[in-house]
């Protein structure tokens, strides 16, 4: 048996390519849309990519399963659990689709797979036991656990409510997840845990940075799993729902599109943005249906000079999909500001993975700063200066773009709290005609939020630096 974890560091997402070395067939589990990476691994190791499986309908990226089935003839193994609202609609009636219930099995070459219903994160969620039959094994070696069980954490059960807007399902989902985790009690200690996400993903709150684990270790040291196995359901529900980060606005769209079927990439290829210069900017700035994303890494440099109405979406650190996915609507035509052309391929992939396909143009940052007619600045102060700034401007409003739990622990008196990932849906709550001082915990989230607000015509000041340096009396004790 061949096994390879293929990771997208921006979304902390893991796909798995598993191949039978005897038959030459391989399957990919939970792939993203840019399939060339999986085909390359398969070809390098002598496999034909013959099948695809999904653990669930994803919220944080668009799946490549439909592309594999309809363009490349792969067989798809998909959940038929969860009820009518949780079906892969795009695959209904497709002769290449195989629908699975709890306990169903299939094989790829001499590798056996068994579907286990593990709901809670989503109602239709399956995990897959993997057995190397061709190698003589009669017990599974691994569990492809999707968003059910992670290294150090378990899948969050709140997204159907917090991201997809289904009121009242958060607590019942958490109780379902509790029962699902308890159902793993009979699985062997040696079982490798192959999760769909690692540290940095928005699909959990305490994911480990170790890429894989074993079930025996997780039973001992994964706090959420341990509580499910040995604690009360009520305590588990309370703890698992506490402190979950507010999801990006695009998560609801991913759920919708992965259910009905992500659009196929034109000719199966990624967008090829053209290089433009300052003479072309009139066609982009303040033009309806177009947006500018500035992918530079230094927020201080961005605040000092950037193209008017551009949104700060740093390419490094996984912030591009979070910023773009929170602030840019689908079908928007995009211009990217890059530090170098070498960043272009990675940037396009990150955007396509969240369904922002209209990436039409790019421009070097060193040319942007010279295009004075089109550039603007956003005022920037340090957190240590905020109290004085507010004293001098009593009409100003403070916007705290941290999470609700951070805000509850301590905040600036009178501040409005809207998580930076949710601003796009709550612009109407901002005061009209008053300057807004935007802060977070370190300055990074605030920089993205301030750029978005400025692009919408809000008078903003970016408050940079450590929240603790705001100091008393601006910050009351929690």
Residue 109 to residues 16, 22, 26, 292, Cα–Cα distance (Å): 16, 7, 8, 47
Cβ burial 215-234 (10 Å sphere, 16+ → b, else e): beebbeebebbebbbeeeee
Q: Which numeric CATH code is attached to 2-255? A: 3.60.15.10
Residue 136 to residues 1, 17, 110, 114, Cα–Cα distance (Å): 11, 20, 10, 17
- Could you tell me the pTM of the whole model? 0.95
CA 153 to CA 205: how far, in whole Å? 7
Between strands 105-108 and 97-100, the pairing is unpaired
Q: What is the dihedral of CA 426, 429, 433, 435, to 10 degrees?
A: -80
CA 327 to CA 317: how far, in whole Å? 18
Thinking of the domain 270-372, which architecture would CATH place it in? 3-Layer(aba) Sandwich (3.40)
In CATH terms, the fold of domain 380-470 is Oxidized Rhodanese; domain 1 (3.40.250)
Q: pLDDT digit string (tens) for 111-149? A: 999 999 999 999 999 999 999 999 999 999 999 999 999
In this prediction, residue 474 carries a pLDDT of 52
Domains 2-255 and 270-372 share a fold: no
In this prediction, residue 392 carries a pLDDT of 93
Q: Which residues of the chain have pLDDT under 50?
A: 473, 477-478
In this prediction, residue 207 carries a pLDDT of 83
Domain limits of the chain? 2-255, 270-372, 380-470
In this prediction, residue 478 carries a pLDDT of 41
């Amino acid at each position: 048996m061949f096994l390879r974890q293929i990771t997208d560091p921006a979304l902390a997402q893991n796909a798995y390519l598993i191949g039978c070395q005897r038959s030459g067939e391989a399957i990919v589990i939970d792939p993203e849309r840019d399939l060339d990476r999986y085909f390359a691994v398969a070809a390098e190791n002598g496999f034909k990519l013959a099948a695809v499986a999904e653990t669930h309908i994803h919220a944080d990226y668009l799946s490549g399963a439909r592309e594999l089935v309809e363009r490349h003839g792969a067989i798809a193994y998909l959940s038929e659990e969860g009820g009518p609202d949780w079906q892969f609609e795009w695959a209904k009636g497709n002769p290449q689709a195989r629908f699975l219930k709890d306990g169903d099995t299939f094989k790829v070459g001499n590798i056996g797979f068994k579907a286990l219903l593990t709901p809670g994160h989503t109602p239709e969620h399956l995990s897959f036991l993997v057995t190397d039959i061709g190698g003589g094994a009669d017990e599974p070696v691994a569990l492809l656990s999707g968003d059910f069980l992670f290294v150090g954490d378990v899948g969050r059960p709140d997204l159907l409510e917090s991201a997809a807007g289904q009121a009242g399902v958060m607590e019942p989902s958490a109780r379902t997840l509790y029962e699902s985790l308890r159902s793993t009690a009979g699985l062997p200690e040696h079982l490798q845990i192959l999760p769909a996400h690692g540290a940095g993903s928005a699909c959990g709150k305490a994911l480990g940075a170790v890429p894989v684990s074993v079930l025996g270790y997780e039973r001992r040291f994964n706090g959420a799993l341990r509580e499910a196995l040995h604690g009360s359901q009520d305590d588990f529900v309370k703890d698992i729902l506490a402190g979950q980060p507010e999801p990006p606005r695009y998560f609801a769209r991913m759920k919708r599109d992965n259910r009905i079927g992500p659009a196929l990439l034109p000719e199966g290829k990624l967008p090829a943005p053209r290089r433009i210069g300052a003479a072309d900017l009139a066609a982009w700035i303040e033009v309806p249906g177009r947006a500018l994303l500035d992918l530079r890494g230094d927020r201080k440099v961005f605040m000092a000079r950037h193209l008017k109405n551009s949104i700060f979406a740093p390419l490094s650190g996984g912030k591009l999909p979070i910023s773009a996915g929170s602030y840019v609507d689908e079908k928007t035509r995009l211009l990217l500001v890059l530090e170098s052309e070498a960043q272009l391929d990675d940037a396009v992939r990150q955007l396509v993975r969240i369904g922002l396909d209209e990436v039409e143009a790019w421009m070097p940052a060193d040319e942007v700063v010279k295009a004075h007619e089109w550039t603007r600045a956003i005022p920037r102060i340090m957190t240590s200066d905020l109290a004085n700034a507010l004293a001098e401007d009593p009409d100003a409003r403070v916007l705290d773009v941290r999470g609700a739990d951070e805000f509850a622990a301590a905040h600036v008196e009178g501040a409005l709290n809207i998580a930076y990932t949710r601003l796009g849906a709550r612009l109407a709550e901002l005061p009209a005609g008053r300057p807004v001082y935007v802060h977070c915990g370190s300055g990074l989230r605030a920089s993205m939020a301030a750029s978005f607000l400025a692009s919408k015509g809000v008078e903003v000041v970016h408050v940079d630096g450590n929240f603790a340096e705001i100091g008393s009396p601006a910050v009351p004790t929690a």
